[in-house]
Amino acid sequence: MDLQCDVIVIGGGMAGGCAALSAAEAGADVVLLEKQSELGGSSAMSGGLLVFADTDLQRSKGIVDSDAILFKDLREVGKFDNEETIVQSYVDNQLATYEWLCHHGVKFDPDLQVAGGMSVPRGHSTDPADTVRLLGKRNLANGKVRILTVAAGQRLLRNAESSRVEGLQFSHNNAAATIRCSNGVILACGGFGHNKELIHKFVPQYDNAVFVGGAGNVGDGLKMAWELGADFRDMAHIKGTYGKHPVDTSNPHSCLCVYKGGIAVNEHGKRYVNESLSYKLLGDACLLQPNACTYQIMDQNIYEQSDHKDKIADFERRLEEGLLVRAESLDELARLFDLPADTLAATVADYNRYVDQGRDPEFGREHLVHTFGQLRKIQRAPFYGYASTACVYGTYAGVRVDPDMRVLNVFGEPIRALYAAGEMVGGLHGAAYMSGSSLGKAAIFGRVAARTACSLRD
Going by the DSSP 8-state scheme, the letter that residue 29 receives in this structure is -
Tell me what the mean pLDDT of segment 200-225 comes to.
88
Residue 1 pLDDT level (bands cut at 50, 70, 90): low
Identity at 57, one-letter amino acid code: L
Asked whether the predicted pLDDT for residue 374 surpasses 80, the reply is yes
Q: Give the Cα separation of 393 and 244 in Å (integer).
A: 10
Side-chain-facing half-sphere of 390: CA atoms under 13 Å: 25
Q: Give the Cα separation of 273 and 289 in Å (integer).
A: 10
Percent of the chain with pLDDT over 70: 99
Going by the DSSP 8-state scheme, the letter that residue 237 receives in this structure is G
Alpha-carbon distance values, 4 to 28, 51, 174, 182 (Å):
12, 36, 20, 8
- Quick one: pLDDT at residue 170? 96
Within a 10 A sphere around the Cβ of 156, how many other Cβ atoms? 23
Q: Give the Cα separation of 31 and 129 in Å (integer).
A: 21
The string of DSSP codes covering 325-344 is EEESSHHHHHHHHT--HHHH
Q: Give the Cα separation of 50 and 436 in Å (integer).
A: 4
Q: Give the Cα separation of 131 and 425 in Å (integer).
A: 21
Higher pLDDT, 283 or 329: 329
Asked whether the predicted pLDDT for residue 408 surpasses 70, the reply is yes
Minimal CA–CA distance to 32: which of 97, 415, 40, 380?
Answer: 40
Helix or strand or coil: residue 19? Answer: helix
Q: Read off the pTM.
A: 0.86
Cβ contact 414:401 at 8 Å: no
- Quick one: pLDDT at residue 322? 93
Model pLDDT for residues 428-458, shown as the tens digit of each residue = 999 988 989 999 999 999 999 999 999 976 6
Helix or strand or coil: residue 272? Answer: coil
- Quick one: pLDDT at residue 210? 78
Average pLDDT, whole number, for the chain?
94
The string of DSSP codes covering 405-444 is -EEEBTTS-EEEEEEE-GGGB-SSSTTS--TTHHHHHHHH
Model pLDDT for residues 26-81, shown as the tens digit of each residue = 999 999 999 999 999 989 888 899 999 999 999 999 999 999 999 999 999 999 99
Alpha-carbon distance values, 356 to 65, 113, 359, 367 (Å):
29, 26, 8, 13
Point out the least confidently predicted range of 6-15, 130-139, 249-258, 403-412.
249-258
Cβ contact 325:386 at 8 Å: yes
Q: Give the Cα separation of 116 and 438 in Å (integer).
A: 12
Q: Give the Cα separation of 249 and 140 in Å (integer).
A: 35
Asked whether the predicted pLDDT for residue 239 surpasses 90, the reply is no
- φ, ψ at 394 (rounded to 5°): -170, 155
Model pLDDT for residues 383-392, shown as the tens digit of each residue = 999 999 988 8
Cβ contact 224:153 at 8 Å: yes
Tell me what the mean pLDDT of segment 243-255 comes to.
83
Higher pLDDT, 216 or 456: 216
- Quick one: pLDDT at residue 293? 93
Identity at 299, one-letter amino acid code: D
Give the total residue count for the chain. 458
- Quick one: pLDDT at residue 150? 96
Asked whether the predicted pLDDT for residue 212 surpasses 90, the reply is no
Asked whether the predicted pLDDT for residue 375 surpasses 70, the reply is yes
The string of DSSP codes covering 55-122 is -HHHHHTT----HHHHHHHHHHHTTT-S-HHHHHHHHHHHHHHHHHHHHTTPPPPSS-B--TT-SS--
- Quick one: pLDDT at residue 36? 94
Tell me what the mean pLDDT of segment 260-273 comes to.
98
Beta strands in 241-382 (DSSP E): 241-244, 263-265, 294-299, 325-327
- Quick one: pLDDT at residue 458? 67
Higher pLDDT, 1 or 416: 416
- Quick one: pLDDT at residue 311? 83
